[in-house]
Amino acid sequence: MMNAAISPLPGSLKTTSGDAHEHESKPIVLFTGQDVRLSCEYLQEPQLVFSDRHLCEDPKTGLAGFGPYSKSDVTRRTAIRIGIVGPGEAIDRALTLIRQMSKPIAQSEKLDAMLHPSFPGINSEEPFQIEMVTQELWQRPLRVVDIAAVENHPDFTVRVRLLVDAVIKEIRALKQLDSAPDVILIAMTERLEELCKVGIGVHDAEIALADDEDGPNDLPEAVISEDPDNSLSVVDGSRSFRRSLKAQCLGLLPTQLLWHKTLVGSRGVQDLPTRAWNLSIALLYKAGIVPWRLADVMDGSCFVGISFFHPEGAERSSVRSSVAQAFTDRGEGFVLQGTRFDWDSRKEEDKSPHLSREAARDVLAKVLQTYGEQIQTAPRRVVIHKTSRYTEEERLGFEDALKGIPQYALVTLSRHGTSCLRPGNKPVLRGTIVHFGEKKGLVFTIGYIPFLRCYPGFRIPQPLEVTENWGSLSFHQVATDLLRLTKLNWNTAAFSCVDPITIAFSKRVGEILKVADIDNPALHYRYYM
């Protein structure tokens, strides 16, 4: 199959395969004047549901105009109880940020008003009608002796362990309170950020760490520009501290990591209104408040992402474990861990791990059981996303578990460096899909967004490719779901993200479970964010 980039508009068409900066070494295919016809289609932007069933396609606009979905739902709450852990000076900065977020924050005149709008303030007034509440009892400064132990130790890995231990001790104390906070802010100083985040780059270089994650066929992790705890970038060096912290908090309380640069708004950090938007969404979701829901999704839909990781405590390097990230049409997220199995990539033809028929059936059955227990009804539609192809054993195992489900799809998603040029100066429209037949094709989850009147990216948009689609759903239905799922990232108030939530953070979740090394980790997705 030829990798092709397609224009959603009439006119001449140029397509390239590979990185846009490598055109000299990659073939360029010109369709102009040739008898080549590919079916293109534009999907309307998915709508989101806010308070009182109001619809809008943009999270910020919908929240500012109508308020969060929970405001008129049984999940309504009037306050978020916030605990804060960190050095005393960092706690003070976190309190300052909370006070700033409780009032309207005007947009910067230097930035695009659609991409970086004003923040209305999260308080008891419209539009949120939710207060951020904290008190001295919920503010736990790290001991001076613990901070000194971290700052004075020469070894990076020991510094991280000492810092995690000190923070976890305070979180456990908060958890034991009769009225515990809903979510904990972990506030860091510049010195701790330098020693336990930036320092990992030097540490990695010194010991030449190899990445032990499988998946040459995995999708590249997208750099999400709108991230409140600044921990999603591929080059981010906070992974060890962050994943260790999250792993130990799985049975405690949801946490939100705030590095020094986020607190003070130093160079390279987003403007204050954007930080307030993103942090408010994360806090709402982690406190059990629904910011928005998807519109026009069949009730009873369950979207599942399947990925794999190597448990850190496993004796053999070939042992793997599966993890399923499941999301409902209501926006609830669940994380379920499968059983361990042997997979030696050096001995297998496919380096990506695959499940046996029994293991595939069991992990999906676990998802369906959890869905039924949490939603009080069985799903009527199940869509599974993987970034590697399905073996026959996997497919049969999943289908065994899906017996009785009216509609389902087993979908493989990949990126092959496809690029697109269209007539004019604008990139391809987000929502453009290209049919390849056999229920497969391209889906542009990024591109020019008419609502924003711009393309909020830096490179030529590259589409997701649906390379496998087993089951009863058409390519059009699968593509529509993918667009919807790019709007369920509760770490950001951005219009949409590059990848669907089912696979966007699969590696991050695996890293946390890898460190946690427990059989029954926390169920709810808010603990892993």
- Domain of residue 325 covers 50-293+301-383+499-529
| Alpha carbon separation from 139 to 82, 84, 90, 265, 272 (Å, rounded) | 9, 5, 11, 22, 23
At residue 88, φ and ψ (nearest 5 deg) are -55, -45
The pLDDT, as a whole number, for residue 507 is 85
Q: Do residues 137 and 143 make contact, with C-beta atoms less than 8 angstroms apart? A: no
Q: Which whole number is the average pLDDT over 90-100?
A: 98
- Contacting residues for 263 by C-beta, under 8 A, at least 6 apart: 90, 93, 94, 96, 97, 187, 188
Beta-carbon count within 10 A of 173 CB: 13
Give the alpha-carbon dihedral of 99, 103, 106, 112, to 10 degrees: 80
Please count the structural domains in the chain: 1
Q: Is residue 438 part of a domain?
A: no
Structure tokens at 163: 């810092």
Q: How far apart are CA 418 and CA 6, in angstroms?
A: 9
Confidence at 230, pLDDT banded by 50, 70, 90: very low
Residue in 435, 211, 244, 394 with CA at minimum distance from that of residue 304: 394
With a cut of 50, say whether residue 299 has pLDDT above it.
yes
Q: What is the average pLDDT score of the chain?
A: 85
The pLDDT, as a whole number, for residue 437 is 87
With a cut of 70, say whether residue 387 has pLDDT above it.
yes
Helix, strand or coil, per DSSP, at residue 73: coil
| Region for 86 from its dihedrals, namely left if φ exceeds 0, alpha if ψ lies in -120 to 50, beta otherwise | left
CA 124 to chain centre: 29
Q: Is residue 238 part of a domain?
A: yes
Confidence at 19, pLDDT banded by 50, 70, 90: very low
Confidence at 172, pLDDT banded by 50, 70, 90: very high
Helix (H) or strand (E) holding 131: strand 131-133
Q: Which whole number is the average pLDDT over 45-57?
A: 98
Q: Is residue 425 part of a domain?
A: no
The pLDDT, as a whole number, for residue 359 is 96
Q: How far apart are CA 501 and CA 489, in angstroms?
A: 6
Confidence at 234, pLDDT banded by 50, 70, 90: very low
The pLDDT, as a whole number, for residue 529 is 92
The pLDDT, as a whole number, for residue 37 is 67
Residue in 493, 491, 511, 510 with CA at minimum distance from that of residue 501: 491
Q: In what side-by-side order are the strands of the sheet with 293-294?
A: 55-56, 48-49, 293-294
- Contacting residues for 194 by C-beta, under 8 A, at least 6 apart: none
Using one digit for the tens of pLDDT, what is the confidence trace for 333-360? 999 999 889 887 777 777 789 999 999 9
Q: Is residue 356 part of a domain?
A: yes
Q: Which whole number is the average pLDDT over 377-394?
A: 96
State which amino acid sits at residue 155.
D
Query: The pTM is what?
Result: 0.87
Beta-carbon count within 10 A of 509 CB: 26
Q: How far apart are CA 408 and CA 400, in angstroms?
A: 12
Q: Which whole number is the average pLDDT over 394-414?
A: 97
With a cut of 50, say whether residue 9 has pLDDT above it.
no
Confidence at 114, pLDDT banded by 50, 70, 90: very high
Using one digit for the tens of pLDDT, what is the confidence trace for 478-502? 999 999 999 999 999 999 999 999 9
Q: Is residue 173 part of a domain?
A: yes
Using one digit for the tens of pLDDT, what is the confidence trace for 127-164? 999 999 999 999 999 999 999 999 999 999 899 999 99
Confidence at 34, pLDDT banded by 50, 70, 90: low
Confidence at 200, pLDDT banded by 50, 70, 90: low
**Across the chain, how many H-helices and E-strands are there?**
14, 20
The pLDDT, as a whole number, for residue 198 is 66
The pLDDT, as a whole number, for residue 483 is 98
With a cut of 80, say whether residue 208 has pLDDT above it.
no
Residue in 189, 153, 168 with CA at minimum distance from that of residue 251: 168
Q: Is residue 410 part of a domain?
A: no
Q: Is residue 230 part of a domain?
A: yes
Which residues are paired to 440 by β-bridges? 437
Structure tokens at 254: 């949801």
The pLDDT, as a whole number, for residue 417 is 82
Q: Is residue 428 part of a domain?
A: no
With a cut of 50, say whether residue 223 has pLDDT above it.
no
The DSSP line for 3-47 is -----SSSS--EEEES-GGGTTTS-EEE-TTS----EEEEPPPPP
Q: What is the DSSP letter of 123?
A: S
